[in-house]
Amino acid sequence: MRPFALIVCLSSVLRAAEPQSMKPLYSGVPDAAAKEIKRLEADMAKTLTGRRLLAETDGVERRGAVAGLLGTDAVRCLRGPKPVLVYDLGRLSSTREWEFELAYARALAKAALAIPLDLPEADMAAAQEELSFALDKAKLDPTFSSKLHQQANAMRAKLESTLRLEAEAPYPPPTPFEELARAAFHLALFERGPDEFYWAVERGLPESPERVRLTDLEDFSARYGPTFAAEEPADRIPYVRVGGRRYPKALWTAARSLVESGGLKRIQESLAGFEGGPAQQLQERIKKWLSKSS
How many whole angstroms separate alpha carbon 86 and alpha carbon 76? 5
What does the pLDDT look like over 71-115, one tens digit per residue?
Answer: 778 899 999 889 999 998 888 878 888 999 999 999 999 999 999
Helix (H, G, I), strand (E, B) or coil at 279: helix
Global pTM value: 0.86
pLDDT: is 47 or 168 the higher one?
Answer: 47
How many whole angstroms separate alpha carbon 49 and alpha carbon 131? 10
Indicate the DSSP class of residue 21: G
The structural domains of the chain, with segments of one domain joined by +, span 3-114, 121-206+277-293, 214-270
Strands (E), the chain: 26-27, 61-65, 75-78, 84-88, 239-242, 245-248
What does the pLDDT look like over 110-130, one tens digit per residue?
Answer: 999 999 999 999 999 999 999
pLDDT band at 294 (very low <50, low <70, confident <90, very high): low
Which residues make Cβ contacts (< 8 Å) with residue 224, sequence separation at least 6? 242, 243, 255
What does the pLDDT look like over 203-224, one tens digit per residue?
Answer: 999 889 899 999 999 999 888 8
CB-CB contact of 286 with 135 (8 Å): yes
What does each C-alpha distance from 34 to 7, 115, 124 come to in angstroms?
12, 26, 28
How many whole angstroms separate alpha carbon 104 and alpha carbon 123? 13
Helix (H, G, I), strand (E, B) or coil at 63: strand
